[in-house]
Chains A and B, each alone.
Chain A
Amino acid sequence: MPNLVRRSCGAADGSADMIDIDNLVLSYPSSTKPALDHVSLSIPEGQLVALVGASGSGKTTLLKTINRLNDPQSGTISLDGEDVSAIPGPLLRRRIGYAFQGIGLFPHMSVAENIGITPQLLGWSKPDIAARVRELLALVDLPADFAARTPAMLSGGQQQRVGVARALAARPKIMLMDEPFGALDPLTRDALGQSYRALHERLGLTTIMVTHDVQEAVLLADRIVVMEAGRIVADGTPRELMSEKAEPRVMELMSVPMRQAERVQAILSGAAHV
């Protein structure tokens, strides 16, 4: 299975890896098991990587370590060739779009202020920010008059879309998205997933998207990384992970959408016979 777990090679051959993670180890003070256990991962520019794995496997921890919301005990991270530990945290984070798992909108700010916050921190002019907010609301398919609302006046799914818009606001080259579509209904989720994929391509973004949903991962991602207990246990294209050569455990995980589709099919055809 050499092609399933691709080790970091970016630094060695000088290729243009956008995100280069090398041998990260991180333990939270309160627990004995490391949340990240020697994690290495290289992602070339333009790739959309889906990070999947059971709850508690370390997906969120990995994202937060990339933009230095967490500090690892050892290991290095480079973004576009630059070691992140050399960049002041706030400046680094203004360059990276981050959509939080818990959405994390500021309840005392309007939707427009939420979306415009990073540009504001970067010193954009007011008209530029206003224009950007209008653009992003349209992009995430929210009516323009939502700009003046507060987050409390939105549904969970609408809040999540604002969260994605906020992450995109300062035109980052790297997007870290932690279950960004979790609170959406299947229809919107599918639509927003696809429109994000299109955006990702159009803007040439590099994205890591955490998701529980293997089907979503298969449909949207160029590459799927599977985590388990703080380690990367599989890494490849959707096709590779579903191939015969994959580890049985990984294959089982990857075949969930298939099996579900078959069951749905069976039920529907069974019902037709009644």
Chain B
Amino acid sequence: MSFTNDQLERYSRHIILKEVGVKGQKKLLKSKVLIIGTGGLGAPAAMFLAAAGVGTIGLVDSDNVELSNLQRQIIHLTKDVGKPKVVSGQETINEMNPDVNVVTYQEWVSSANIIGIIKDQDYDFIIDGTDNFPAKFLINDACVLTEKPFSHAGIIRFHGQTMTYVPGQGPCYRCIFKNPPPPDAVPTCKQAGVLGVMGGIIGTIQATEAIKYVLGIGELLTGQLLTYDALDMDFRKIKLPLVKDCPVCGESAKIKELIDYEGAVCELKQN
């Protein structure tokens, strides 16, 4: 694969970096990243990955764009209200960068489809941009069972957090958080509110982790939870332990099959 003149110009600020270069940019163009949820986190992650020239981007979301999404889900425009989010996301990416092949999955992830979606393009890295705990645990378990790296994140009010799982290189989400909280116990963005930029900051960190993983550069957030408090403008990295008896990634793991947990009713709302 050789670059066209347009590609050399488009990616020139990457290519000039010694950590990226022509070789790294080619890796990005050949890479495949799956983004589950094209909302507050997934929207900015998808846009930066598209701009960076990630060759294949998968978008999973069953929802349609609503007016209340536009305060933070910047991949969708006012004219997109009512459209499926994956279609709106695909259109924006196509306009941003013709090098990117967008694969859309207009569905919610469940135990029945998630492995098929991950295997559909044999994605290299997965970004969890979902807002609910059944999906977060499902993504974790699916990535552990299929040995795929992924980035977890959550945002609420003025807070955000993210961690990266790479098989064999640190704890998974379940190591730390065990089981989903009971439905309705933890407020969602819709109930609690979220500052629009939170997804931009945390989702862009998720995109950064995906790019670093593909390029094989730097230190990932494996074994570390990065927390961000926007009001105090405070970033902290919390070192996480490896949990030997984790039910999914531990030495004698009991979870061999995916689990569909029950979510709060508002989280399962389908348009």
Say whether A associates with B.
Answer: no
Interface residues of B (CB under 8 A from A): none
Interface residues of A (CB under 8 A from B): none
